[in-house]
Structure 1
């Protein structure tokens, strides 16, 4: 027997049922069928599977007028069993690794944070990832949490079907079979995706983008990337490079050049670029409040935005220029995708309302339709929670294929 279209459809229906039960605790089978356009027999069969597997709990409730039209058993409410199992989520940022053990509701039970690029050596970054997973598994065992899978967000172009990192400039990883490496070492199903794709997944599943059918999650940190949710689904592109907006060329003079590590926009407007530009121009502004940070060698983009908001001339010049570049990129994204919502995250987004309002002012008169622009509700946990949510979906799909092959 092979998994064909009926099995794929069943997987989609199971995921849709799980998502609706999670979003609307206490929903009935009747309402599930009505909302999803499924027959009573299909709902009964799939809900029965989910209850048998411990993913869903049902409880009796008082019948509604709609329920009374259906004879037979008393109506029951359905709830997601958030403690059915736990997952490990890893967000491999260009500067920090954030890892967590979380339940099916995204409630974090264990969390670790550590630098992700010791000496910039590819093999050391991989070794540190292994150490982080081992630490999370040890703490999960100590807490009595059963871990069933691992989701990993990598900063670069990834092939999620093969679990392979095609190119991650922050780690100098090329064509790395990351899923294979981790599954061989830890014997747990592992799912690998682009880190910003997973941040978008996390915002839609657990954060400010709940219910949005079309959103773009833009993360600005060591690099610049976007995750696209279109018509409710993650969009990756034909080469898995959709959302690599760090490669946008914001002006004509920057064409006909080669960008081998970070993209053109990242060189101009990512966090390190903002800090570097302020340091390069510091000599022109001897009274700048940024000088102590620069002299101590610890200036960051958030310091620049904070000083700009307070009126520092050097900081304002650099911050306004960076927002110009970012607005050019966002205007292009809006014109092509027409999203309901843009969610801003990453280290630079800690600039908060100053950044959001600056981008809104630049965009509202130049785009055909203005989307909502919000800061990430999950902050630096968007990626790790997105990795958890993605692992839930993919693990359920894996279980469905195995069931079809029995």
Structure 2
């Protein structure tokens, strides 16, 4: 554990100081797990009486409870161990893809309680899909009321309205599903670009340092990027930061349009292009979706992987030339399947393309990053609402 001292400020009122200390204690209990009063004293730098008051205050508020006793061998009674009341609220994450809807229900500490997924055929009726999506969410919740829902979907999230602006050939029912969830559940429903949520999961799971900067490059059915600059997710003026599929990079020499990125970086590194490249290298690849592309990468020859890495490095070089993030994380079905080998190949090519020193690494969340990011987002929002404010 790393000691973190409470610093409410010289001019803070007693009430504000208590709120700051409460927030600090709750954050430590979330990050470190259950702690004794003595451990809270050590980590916060507070006095013993102040910690005792804090513990009593948080217990009376129903935010923490005794979850056990310390096993230290010493004279006298064992010390009580306190933990967050995780069942005080449940949250949900939604992953709305082109061909599926995924749901994860979690407690206030982000621990998964249930998961469910629904396949959505290309010819599915939009109204029926919305009803099935609502039923999937409610069924996964099992009748338990939800405090907050966070949803990830492809496209631009309007920073003013909070609604989804569909780009390219994405289905229009995405935005309608989110609106229907908001209407029927009557709880906060947060909407975020799905690649941004993958970056949220990456940042939290990897334990990135405060102020860390990286770009998460999503290579899957489509391509996209999420920008975490100085520790903060950056969405851009219109919510479109990271729409790298529209970068004018292609073998054809044509350029993308505002509604179609097939002649952009998407057409160079998306799943369809990856599958075509694999077949050109003699690999038997049925289909052209993200799953087929990921399987091709796992089974691919060194020559195929090197050519794929060269394509990915073109997009990475364009991003790095503008942002100089120092770190690029390869995620998505293809990025995850390539692992460290693909990251090393991209790194080698990128070093020849760009003078900027950039660390390329595989994602730390190879499975379900969008759902995990959605749950983290919903959990953080619920804690902000339920826990005392920091000032």
Q: How many residues align?
A: 364
Give the drift of 1:289.
Answer: 4.2
Give the drift of 1:382.
Answer: 1.2
Give the drift of 1:348.
Answer: 0.9
Structure 1 distance, partners of 2:83, 2:189, is: 26
Residue by residue, what CA displacement relative to the aligned partner does 1:349-396 show, whole Å, maximum 9, x if unpaired? 21323322211221245342222512333x232111111111122234
Gaps of 5+ in 1: 1-5, 63-74
Structure 2 distance, partners of 1:243, 1:105, is: 29
Structure 2 distance, partners of 1:333, 1:277, is: 23
CA pair 233-259 structure 1, distance change in 2 beyond 3 A: same
Q: Does 1:371 align with 2:355?
A: no
Structure 2 distance, partners of 1:336, 1:44, is: 51
Task: Please point out which of 334, 344, 348 is paired with 1:361.
Answer: 348
Structure 2 distance, partners of 1:60, 1:303, is: 46
Give the drift of 1:111.
Answer: 0.9
**Residue equivalent to 1:300:** 292
Mapping of residues 277-316 of structure 1, within 5 Å: 277-279=277-279, 282=280, 288-290=282-284, 293-294=285-286, 300-309=292-301, 316=303
Mapping of residues 150-299 of structure 1, within 5 Å: 150-159=149-158, 162-169=161-168, 171-173=170-172, 176=175, 179-205=178-204, 207-211=205-209, 213-250=212-249, 254=253, 257-262=256-261, 264-279=264-279, 282=280, 288-290=282-284, 293-294=285-286
Contact in 2 for aligned 1:121/1:172 (Cα 8 Å): no
**Residue equivalent to 1:331:** 317
Give the drift of 1:124.
Answer: 4.8
**Residue equivalent to 1:87:** 91
Structure 2 distance, partners of 1:94, 1:41, is: 56
Structure 2 distance, partners of 1:80, 1:189, is: 22
**Residue equivalent to 2:114:** 110
**Residue equivalent to 1:387:** 374
Contact in 2 for aligned 1:58/1:79 (Cα 8 Å): yes
Contact in 2 for aligned 1:346/1:380 (Cα 8 Å): no
SS in 2 for 1:222: coil
CA pair 182-199 structure 1, distance change in 2 beyond 3 A: same
**Residue equivalent to 2:339:** 352
Residue by residue, what CA displacement relative to the aligned partner does 1:258-278 show, whole Å, maximum 9, x if unpaired? 251346111111112211344
SS in 2 for 1:260: coil
Structure 1 distance, partners of 2:310, 2:94, is: 32
Give the drift of 1:107.
Answer: 2.2
Give the drift of 1:241.
Answer: 0.8
Structure 1 distance, partners of 2:102, 2:242, is: 22
**Residue equivalent to 2:130:** 126
Give the drift of 1:195.
Answer: 0.8
Q: Does 1:24 align with 2:32?
A: yes
Contact in 1 for aligned 2:269/2:311 (Cα 8 Å): yes
CA pair 256-262 structure 1, distance change in 2 beyond 3 A: closer
Give the drift of 1:397.
Answer: 4.1
After TM superposition, the score normalised by the length of structure 2 is 0.75
SS in 2 for 1:147: coil
Residue by residue, what CA displacement relative to the aligned partner does 1:247-304 show, whole Å, maximum 9, x if unpaired? 222369746542513461111111122113445xx5xx7xx342xx44x888921243
**Residue equivalent to 1:68:** none
What is the RMSD computed on CA atoms of the aligned residues? 4.3
After TM superposition, the score normalised by the length of structure 1 is 0.73
